[in-house]
């Protein structure tokens, strides 16, 4: 299994380079557990979902604590057939999910969101979960939407995506659960996510 993300941070300020540099500092604690490579469009992070989602969450939360409007785009991927197996990406949650029903996985997802840390930063996200290479992909999507609606972070359904709002801790835990517990455990699953904080449209 190969698990990772392409992450881009977009601060809506002329001082954007400084905000990005401060955000990237939040990744320091994760550098031993993730492979992190930055080019001029995005930062690749490869590793297990525990440090991966924590790192993405902390990157965005650090930037959202500053006063400026900031957004982020993330492409998460697991199990892409074109990528090599990577032992650093091994994940107990995925291994267990192979023997769990959709109902069990919904329940475990809710427990995980309830146990998420409170970061004290309110954020908005919208995201799409894609289950690839499976004929009955919409069953897993509808199961995931059921979970999202009861997660406590659900804001609304939109065309092509779902909108969440809440503390960065609960919101990113909700996305991690969607990524890990829906779609076949050994299959190819991706997420297309945008996050937003301090938007003037909400003031």
Which one, 51 or 112, has the nearer CB to its own copies? 51
Residue 191 CB neighbour total at 10 angstroms: 18
User: Measured between alpha carbons, how far is 48 from 18 in angstroms, rounded to an integer?
Assistant: 28
Please answer whether residues 147 and 100 qualify as being in contact, where contact means their C-beta atoms are separated by less than 8 angstroms.
Answer: no
Which residue reads 């993330």 in tokens? 74
**Shortest Cβ 174–its own copies spacing (Å):** 16
User: Measured between alpha carbons, how far is 143 from 122 in angstroms, rounded to an integer?
Assistant: 26
Please answer whether residues 10 and 72 qualify as being in contact, where contact means their C-beta atoms are separated by less than 8 angstroms.
Answer: yes
Report 49-108 residues binding its own copies (CB under 8 A): 68-69, 71, 73, 75, 77, 80-83
From the list 87-95, 97-105, 153-161, 173-181, the region that binds its own copies by CB under 8 A is 153-161
Neighbouring residues of 114: CB distance < 8 A, sequence distance ≥ 6: 152
24, 44, 66, 102: residue in contact with its own copies (rule CB under 8 A): 44
Our finding on whether 135 is near its own copies (CB under 8 A) is yes
41, 67, 98, 111: residue in contact with its own copies (rule CB under 8 A): 41
15, 92, 103, 104: residue in contact with its own copies (rule CB under 8 A): 15
66 is in an annotated binding site: no
Our finding on whether 134 is near its own copies (CB under 8 A) is yes
193 is in an annotated binding site: no
Residue 164 has what DSSP assignment? E
User: Measured between alpha carbons, how far is 54 from 38 in angstroms, rounded to an integer?
Assistant: 18
User: Measured between alpha carbons, how far is 1 from 180 in angstroms, rounded to an integer?
Assistant: 12
Q: Which residues bind its own copies (CB under 8 A)?
A: 4-6, 8, 10-17, 39-42, 44, 46, 68-69, 71, 73, 75, 77, 80-83, 124, 126, 128, 130-138, 141, 158-161, 163, 188, 190, 192, 194, 196, 199-202
Which residues sit in the known binding site for thiamine?
Answer: 9, 43
């Amino acid at each position: 299994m190969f698990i990772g993300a392409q992450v881009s941070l977009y601060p809506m300020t002329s001082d954007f380079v400084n905000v990005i540099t401060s955000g990237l500092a939040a990744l320091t604690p994760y550098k031993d557990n993730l492979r992190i490579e930055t080019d001029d469009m995005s930062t690749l992070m490869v590793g297990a979902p525990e440090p991966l989602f924590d790192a993405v969450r902390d990157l965005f939360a650090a930037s959202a604590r500053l006063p400026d409007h900031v957004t982020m785009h993330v492409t998460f991927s697991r199990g892409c057939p074109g990528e090599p197996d990577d032992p650093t990406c091994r994940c107990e949650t995925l291994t267990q999910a192979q023997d769990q029903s959709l109902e069990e996985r919904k329940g475990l997802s809710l427990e995980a969101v309830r146990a998420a840390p409170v970061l004290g930063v309110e954020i908005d996200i919208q995201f799409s979960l894609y289950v690839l290479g499976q004929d009955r992909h919409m069953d897993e999507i509808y199961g995931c939407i059921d979970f999202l609606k009861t997660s406590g972070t659900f804001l609304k359904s939109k065309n092509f995506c779902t909108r969440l709002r809440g503390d960065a801790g609960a919101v990113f835990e909700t996305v991690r659960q969607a990524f890990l517990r829906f779609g076949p455990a050994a299959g190819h699953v991706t997420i297309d996510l945008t996050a937003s904080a301090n938007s003037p449209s909400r003031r």
